[in-house]
Amino acid sequence: MSRTVTVAAAQLGPIQKSEGREVAVGRMLRLLERAHQRGAEVVVFPELALTTFFPRWYTENLDDADHWYEQSLPSPATQPLFDAIRRYGLTIYLGYAEIAHEADEQGVVRKRRFNTSVIIAPNGEVILKYRKVHLPGHAEFATHRKVQHLEKRYFEVGNLGFPVVRAPVGRAGLDVNLGMLICNDRRWPEAWRVLGLQQVELVLLGYNTPAVNQDNRGFEAHHLRVLHSQLAIQSGCYQNACFGVAVAKAGKEDGFELFGHSIIVNPQGEIIAMATTWDDELIVADCNLDMCELGRTTIFNFEKHRRPEAYGRIVEQVGSSAPPVWKPSKS
Amino acid sequence: MSRTVTVAAAQLGPIQKSEGREVAVGRMLRLLERAHQRGAEVVVFPELALTTFFPRWYTENLDDADHWYEQSLPSPATQPLFDAIRRYGLTIYLGYAEIAHEADEQGVVRKRRFNTSVIIAPNGEVILKYRKVHLPGHAEFATHRKVQHLEKRYFEVGNLGFPVVRAPVGRAGLDVNLGMLICNDRRWPEAWRVLGLQQVELVLLGYNTPAVNQDNRGFEAHHLRVLHSQLAIQSGCYQNACFGVAVAKAGKEDGFELFGHSIIVNPQGEIIAMATTWDDELIVADCNLDMCELGRTTIFNFEKHRRPEAYGRIVEQVGSSAPPVWKPSKS
């Protein structure tokens, strides 16, 4: 019998700055109901799914921005989501801004902020938590930008690594190796590989990605934004022999466009489902996890083919360094 | 003024087992002449460009297989290539099977065999040598296979890392950061990243890739072979902000099909030129190296965004390991 799990990408349209969590949660409840009707067992929501993409707004003092973050899960505002997944027997991925009161690297307990995602079991327990490692953008107000991208201001770099866990999903309880990424992480092959080295079978990831690159300097056509996102996800799935569910918050939010094109990708790197609106939209696909075995035991049999002795620079240096210069010794 | 270099992918059709080097070299000379006419400054030939893809043939004692290897470059058989590149002012990438008499890891000088590529300057000097790190296939005769893929028998794992060098190319002598990969290397994001960390601008790579995956177990449609190759190259170029020139030996060789579809890819991950035959074919593109700066200084600014502290597994483990198991603690 094949190990098939039915997964749904629950893309959200825009959430305006003026809209409260109850608006987002209400729309998410309708997507959960639809996912249940379509036979889904796992439902993936976007990054920062409960609010507008607030890092586009500058705040001098972060303590004035606490209302964008969750201090606990569930909360009165998010409890209806927990009720719904229990009712439908669904496992979900939820992205949100997290405030945690916990010790930092110096052992001092303080208020910390992360761009976080969790996988929640039908019974409401958190199966796995991940905090975004690859924060894009900048920490200070950038005068040349029409819209800010202040993730490096609003969040600390994630401190949980790239964890993978084997857990039962949905009502049927099929065991699946689950991992997570958030938005910009998907562009970094290192992140995918760390998941692959833990035998991940299903990578869940949400994103909020501007449809226009303000820094393109004339070299990046706008339509390539979607190509780049899909290229990174397709190659990540292929090279690590896993399925990926990548889910957008899409549409014109606070006046700025985020692209949609949420996709579900198989271990061959093929897109097997794709959203085509910039609004709330559910796409569903059956994922036969036996497909992961092919890559893992042949062309991407890591044990047989990887050569870490040649990969040292990946961990030994952060930035790039200039190569040596060669000159001809004769004419 | 933009830093533009004109590059050519010189795809070769099949070279049969019965054909000698003079046949291959004769065809390569015609491609060099055509490249010169088209204004190319850099010409890339395939992996193992001088012979049939001999690792499909089993040999009990490797000393009986010395005729497939080069003991020196140039040799009487390859001298005409050197004469031509001097005449035309071309820089070339050449893949070949190498026999080297050199010390091994124990310091013992012995006859060693590598799957090698070199970049040769117009004056005949070797600018850079690379030895394939990711050898696919197997070392022993595999009875279940219709055709063997004995690279792990015929070659040692490359011992030169993934070097990059800045060197003048072609007659105009524009300085370019050059790196190399060979065939299966292109599927490994680690290899691309090590090149990217050395600010590579132009990745030259040749391949011999069977058009059919004998181990597909019903999960990999044949047409995906080309998709996988291109996906790996496009994402490698995008994620490392470099150009790639990927060149096939194509067609029915010794009765077995190798796919073509040689491509030139820009730092946006776009295919800017593609071969469409399974025969000798030249494709040419202008590569504006200023394009590499966009990715390198924005979304893939490694210094700003990479997080090696989260990448440890990439070098600490070779194979994958199973993740921990999670169980619900309540119903």
CATH number of the CATH domain containing B36:
3.60.110.10
Nearest to B216, CA basis, from A235, A242, A267: A267
Rounded to an integer, what distance in angstroms lies between the CA atom of residue A318 and that of residue B193?
Answer: 11
Is A132 part of the annotated catalytic residue set?
A: yes
- For tokens 């490392």, name the residue: B240
The per-residue pLDDT for A86 is 98
Dihedrals φ, ψ of B254, to 5°?
A: 50, 30
DSSP A156: P
* Residue B295 in this model has a pLDDT that exceeds 80: yes
Express each pLDDT in A180-219 by its tens digit: 999 999 999 999 999 999 999 999 999 999 998 888 888 8
Mean pLDDT of A7-30: 97
Judge whether A326 lies within some domain: no
Judge whether B330 lies within some domain: no
* Residue B145 in this model has a pLDDT that exceeds 70: yes
The per-residue pLDDT for A1 is 64
Judge whether B322 lies within some domain: no
Q: How many A/B residue pairs have CB atoms within 8 Å?
A: 265
Residue type, B316: E
Q: Is residue B288 a contact partner of residue B51, using CB atoms and an 8 Å limit? A: no
The per-residue pLDDT for A252 is 97
Which among B41, B98, B132, B292 is annotated as catalytic?
B132
Judge whether A323 lies within some domain: no
The per-residue pLDDT for A295 is 94
> Can you read off the two tokens belonging to residue B61?
């004692």
Give me the percent of chain B exceeding a pLDDT of 90.
94
Coil/strand/helix, residue A219? coil
Is B47 part of the annotated catalytic residue set?
A: yes
> Can you read off the two tokens belonging to residue A75?
């909360």
Judge whether A325 lies within some domain: no
Give the A window 247-276 contacts with B, CB below 8 Å.
267-270
Nearest to A54, CA basis, from A148, A146, A175: A148
Q: In chain A, what are the helix, strand and coil shares in percent, each to the nearest 5?
A: 25, 30, 45
Peptide bond into A55 cis (omega under 30): no
Rounded to an integer, what distance in angstroms lies between the CA atom of residue A8 and that of residue A82?
Answer: 17
CB contact under 8 A, B310 and A200: no
Dihedrals φ, ψ of B167, to 5°?
A: -145, 150
The per-residue pLDDT for A306 is 98
- Provide the terminal-to-terminal Cα distance of chain B, rounded to the nearest Å: 68
* Residue A2 in this model has a pLDDT that exceeds 90: no
Averaged pLDDT of chain A: 96
Write out chain B in H/E/C secondary structure: CCCEEEEEEEEECCCCCCCCHHHHHHHHHHHHHHHHHCCCCEEECCCCCCCCCHHHCCCCCHHHHHHHCECCCCCCCCHHHHHHHHHHCCEEEEEEEEEEEEECCCCCEEEEEEEEEEEECCCCCEEEEEECCCCCCCCCCCCCCCCCCCHHHHCCCCCCCCCEEEEEECCCCEEEEEEEEEHHHHHCHHHHHHHHCCCCCEEEEEECCECCCCCCCCCCCCCHHHHHHHHHHHHHHHHHCCEEEEEEECEEECCEEECCCCEEECCCCCEEEECCCCCCEEEEEEEECCHHHHHHHCCCCHHHHCCHHHCCHHHHCCCCCCCCECCCCCC
* Residue A311 in this model has a pLDDT that exceeds 80: yes
* Residue B221 in this model has a pLDDT that exceeds 90: no
Judge whether A132 lies within some domain: yes
Give the A window 232-251 contacts with B, CB below 8 Å.
232, 234-235, 238-239
Parent domain of B95: 4-314
- Write out the DSSP string of A113-144: EEEEEEEE-TTS-EEEEEE-S---S-SS--TT
Mean pLDDT of B102-124: 97
Express each pLDDT in A45-59 by its tens digit: 999 999 999 999 999
> Can you read off the two tokens belonging to residue B10?
């010189």
Is A237 part of the annotated catalytic residue set?
A: no
Judge whether B321 lies within some domain: no
> Can you read off the two tokens belonging to residue A197?
């080295």
Mean pLDDT of B146-167: 97
Averaged pLDDT of chain B: 96
Judge whether A328 lies within some domain: no
Residue in chain A nearest B189 by alpha carbon: A189
Closest by Cβ to B307, choosing from A134, A219, A313? A134
For residue A103, count other CB atoms closer than 10 A to its CB.
Answer: 11
Q: Is residue A200 a contact partner of residue A177, using CB atoms and an 8 Å limit? A: yes
Which among A41, A70, A132, A242 is annotated as catalytic?
A132
Mean pLDDT of A153-160: 98
Distance from the B202 Cα atom to the nearest Cα atom in chain A, whole angstroms: 13
Nearest to B195, CA basis, from B49, B296, B320, B47: B296
The per-residue pLDDT for B1 is 64
The per-residue pLDDT for B23 is 97
Rounded to an integer, what distance in angstroms lies between the CA atom of residue A245 and that of residue A76?
Answer: 28
- CA B321, distance to chain mean position in Å, is 30
The per-residue pLDDT for B2 is 83
Rounded to an integer, what distance in angstroms lies between the CA atom of residue A303 and that of residue B317?
Answer: 9
Asked if B1 has any chain A CB less than 8 Å from its own CB, the reply is no
Rounded to an integer, what distance in angstroms lies between the CA atom of residue A48 and that of residue A54?
Answer: 9
Q: Is residue A126 a contact partner of residue A118, using CB atoms and an 8 Å limit? A: yes
Closest by Cβ to B134, choosing from A267, A305, A319? A305
Mean pLDDT of B217-246: 95
Dihedrals φ, ψ of A320, to 5°?
A: -85, 160
Q: State the total domains in chain A.
A: 1
CB contact under 8 A, B313 and A228: no
> Can you read off the two tokens belonging to residue B306?
């990479």
Distance from the B57 Cα atom to the nearest Cα atom in chain A, whole angstroms: 20
- Provide the terminal-to-terminal Cα distance of chain A, rounded to the nearest Å: 68
Q: Is residue A36 a contact partner of residue A128, using CB atoms and an 8 Å limit? A: no
Closest by Cβ to A310, choosing from B175, B194, B290? B194
Asked if A215 has any chain B CB less than 8 Å from its own CB, the reply is yes
DSSP A297: H
* Residue B57 in this model has a pLDDT that exceeds 70: yes
Give me the percent of chain A exceeding a pLDDT of 70.
99
